Structures are given as structure tokens and as C-alpha cells.
Amino acid sequence: MRVERNRTETVTGPADWFTGTVYIDAIAAPTDAAHFSVSAVRFTPGARTAWHRHPCGQTLWVTEGVGFVQRRGGPIEVIRAGDRVVTEPDEEHWHGAAPNHFMSHLAMQEADDSGTAAVWGEHVSDEEYGAAPDVNA
């Protein structure tokens, strides 16, 4: 066993990947031996990812708050603390916080043989985001 002191700072999510303010803390990064990564991601109200996909799929564990997730062509679904979201390899999707709530999740994914864990696309439009259901319904 070894204890590794966290020496990485919280970073702001890049504008190419996110709309709004998002904070990311790396928990586990890929190594030569393992291609798996885990990040704690915190979304401010209304913040969201761009459309993206993961060559090896992704699992999200919602740790707090209320948010949304949508796969391309599917309905927008409300997600809450304790929910698990599993996306299949190369399934295009987005996720983020509801308009009046923070939302945090752990994002877990494996990189493919070329080292790619995510392929980013266009931003989710305000119109697409605005089609989300009422979180209080």
C-alpha cells in the first residue's frame, strides 16, 4: 500500500468541452499499466458538456445535486445523487447541471489503445438544453 498526496489543483473545464463553469479534480489518471481514469466533475447551475463520446464507454456516478443526461436521439433524463449513468462505447451524449441546481459526478472511463478517452463534438445549444424536463415534476 502507498498513500499518494494530491498535488494536482482543481482545474476549470475547458471552454471547448463545456458550456458554463465546470470544475475538475483528477482522481486516477491513465498509466502505462492501466488506461483507466476517474475525475470528480462539479457543474454550476446550467453548466453542461458538449456532445461527446467515449471509445470504451463511460460510467458516471452522481454524487450530489440534480442534472440532465441525454444520448443522441434520445430523451433528456433527470439525474440525481446516487444515480449511475452507463454509456456504451461510442454512444454520443452530453450531461450537466439543471438550471437551478449544482450537480457533481465521478466520471470513469478507459482510454482506447491510442490513448483516447473522449472525442468531443459541438456544444449543446441553449435550445437543446432548454428542452429538458422540469426537475420538480
Taking only the tens place, the pLDDT of each residue in 2-30 is 887 878 899 999 999 999 999 999 998 77
- What pTM was estimated for this model as a whole? 0.92
pLDDT at 137: 72
135 and 97 in contact (C-beta within 8 Å)? no
CA nearest 109: which of 96, 90, 82? 90
Amino acid code (one letter) for 52: H
Sign of the alpha-carbon torsion through 26, 27, 32, 35: negative
pLDDT at 30: 73
Quote the CA–CA distance of 46 and 41 in Å, as a whole number. Answer: 14
Quote the CA–CA distance of 15 and 68 in Å, as a whole number. Answer: 19
pLDDT at 3: 85
Quote the CA–CA distance of 21 and 42 in Å, as a whole number. Answer: 9
Quote the CA–CA distance of 14 and 12 in Å, as a whole number. Answer: 6
pLDDT at 85: 98
Per-residue pLDDT of the chain (137 residues; tens, 9 = 90+): 888 787 889 999 999 999 999 999 999 877 777 788 999 999 999 999 999 999 999 999 999 999 999 999 999 999 999 999 999 999 999 999 999 999 999 999 998 888 899 999 999 999 999 999 999 87
pLDDT at 18: 98
The fold of the 18-130 domain, in CATH, is Jelly Rolls (2.60.120)
pLDDT at 104: 98
Distances (CA, A) of 44 to 41, 98, 99: 10, 9, 9
Phi, psi of 128 (to 5 degrees): -60, -45
In sequence order, which residues have a C-beta less than 8 Å from that of residue 126 and are 6 or more positions away? none
